[in-house]
Structure 1
């Protein structure tokens, strides 16, 4: 259906085997399912930079991250105030369209087309989450869809 709508060819890759480079730049082919999954997971967790590591700040950016000399404490006073219903509906109304859904399968367009009663229920739920300070674990999950680049995959994760 999507292909017929966009009239573009959908490119799919299958990550059943991958090449991994060692410190010297030599490639080795990994074919074991668990090893491929481990390396793929590691690749996508670190592609934008290392994770869970302190990085020393250097040069121009070091000054940008120095603590501010004075912070007006009042700017935080309403941080955890509940949004008004109108504010909440404005957020929903202005969500970007055409974005991929997360694991829930709920798109922004679906939220924008809820009935008034469903909006009331969702608003009540969001307010309770803010009040109790509890965010369901499942809401912290995300789905990453590798988008094929216009070059062959050739079992190299950097081409995915």
Structure 2
């Protein structure tokens, strides 16, 4: 039989583990269509404001395109994709909370922008996430397992690109 002290100690460990969950995206677009809007969501972290940045390029050398949201205290924001966003298949979102908690989405594609595609591969499917019809938004079904890579590749949720 568990004593009250053992039970409280166990609950304390669970609370500490939950409080130390790394921030991660829970919903990102599989394909971002220029002129459309997407609800970007995340979970984990410590509840302090976050910054969401659009990045592009080689996963080992992502370049910053623009800051999409800064100082967000909710666990979501509405991304209105610019008509001028170039069509490509090498975009990722970065989420930053504080100075030490940084995480990335998987790579995703963009289409419909006014610029010429930089990469001929713009089709995308998701294997570990559901695609919501009419919004092309993928949602990780298990927050702690996978985020959509937008290209049919499953990436662990806490993938860090350098």
TM-score, normalising length: structure 2: 0.23
Higher Cα Rg, which structure: 1
| Higher strand proportion (structure 1 or 2) | 2
TM-score, normalising length: structure 1: 0.23
| Higher helix proportion (structure 1 or 2) | 1
